[in-house]
Amino acid sequence: MTNYLITIIGPTAIGKTALSIKLAQHFGCEILSCDSRQFFKEMKIGTAVPNADELAAAKHHFIQHISVFDNYSVGDFETDAIAKLDELFKENNVQIMVGGSGLYVDAVLKGFDDFPDIEASVREEINTKYDTLGLEYLQNILKELDSEYYNKLLSENQQTLQNPQRMKRFAEVCLGTGKPYSSFIGKRKNQRNFTPIIIGLEADREKMYERINLRVDMMLKEGLLEEAKSLYPNKQLNALQTVGYRELFDYFDGKTTLDFAVEEIKKNTRRFAKRQITWFKRTENAKWFDYQTDVSEIITFVETRIEEKKGIRDKE
């Protein structure tokens, strides 16, 4: 029997959680969250974790299961998610994955290239020099040791060159192995025991921005300010370098007013949503629906796609 992973993608505040619950109830299955910030138990309001009623409506996995003090990589999530799916598929050959973290979606659907382990001393040296020399130090390492990949990012994805965590990883691999980062890409083919059925939710930009602004207002009413204040003493943690918290940390530092911080949260969330759309629109074989589409239409699409896949297999 073939397994199917219904995967729901799209920008923040578009309605992915609500749809995933309706589909889980229809297919009698469970939900894997691949929102990398909803993993953290200390970050509830600012990451729009499903509320108690939503969590009770369908069983969820990878919601608030680790701490901001834990080291948990996308590779760790890939391993854990695949193991959980193997377990769930024994009970039901249809399961659901939902979330807005494109890298984590890709990790489950396609896996990652097989990179070697890097000595901790290399990582420590890179972190120390980064603290002193800044992002340019990391960029120069990639430029010198893997100019081909650096130029590819420069022309196709400049945002990655501005991402300290990604740049540190590139530097670790280059310095720790003595080989270009790009030399490890495409070396491993990941086998998956499921067929993905990918559903994208979208809205026109004005409506999307309106939904984002309303969500931020709702988060503040629900206590985002108090949640951020409780996390403020640990603001240097990587997990807390997140929209909705960073801006309030600046307010606590006396750098901005509260009104300015709130407007910055809205603006930066809108920018984040644009980046999500850019990422997800590259997803192959995704079927995009307006966020207001009736769930019955989406269910029909999923069931039709499953029948089509069965028909292809029967012919083979």
**What radius of gyration do the chain's Cα atoms show?**
21
Residue 14 in marked binding region: yes
Q: Cβ(145)–Cβ(170) under 8 Å?
A: no
Consult the annotation and say whether 298 binds a ligand.
no
Q: Is 13 annotated as a binding residue?
A: yes
15 is in an annotated binding site: yes
Distance CA 282, CA 142 (A): 25
Overall residue count recorded for the chain in this entry: 316
- Taking the C-alpha atoms of residue 99 and residue 257, their distance in angstroms, rounded to an integer, is 32
Does 11 count as an annotated binding residue?
yes
Judging by DSSP bridges, how do beta strands 31-33 and 60-61 pair with one another?
parallel
**Does 203 appear as a known binding residue?**
no
Contacts of residue 143, Cβ cutoff 8 Å, sequence gap at least 6: 150
- 46 annotated among ligand-binding-site residues: no
> Which SS3 state, helix, strand or coil, does residue 35 take?
coil
Beta strand ranges found along the chain (DSSP E):
3-9, 31-33, 60-61, 94-98, 194-202, 286-290
7 is in an annotated binding site: no
Q: Cα separation of 46 and 223, whole Å? A: 9
Binding positions for substrate are 12-17
Binding positions for ATP are 10-17
Binding positions are 10-17
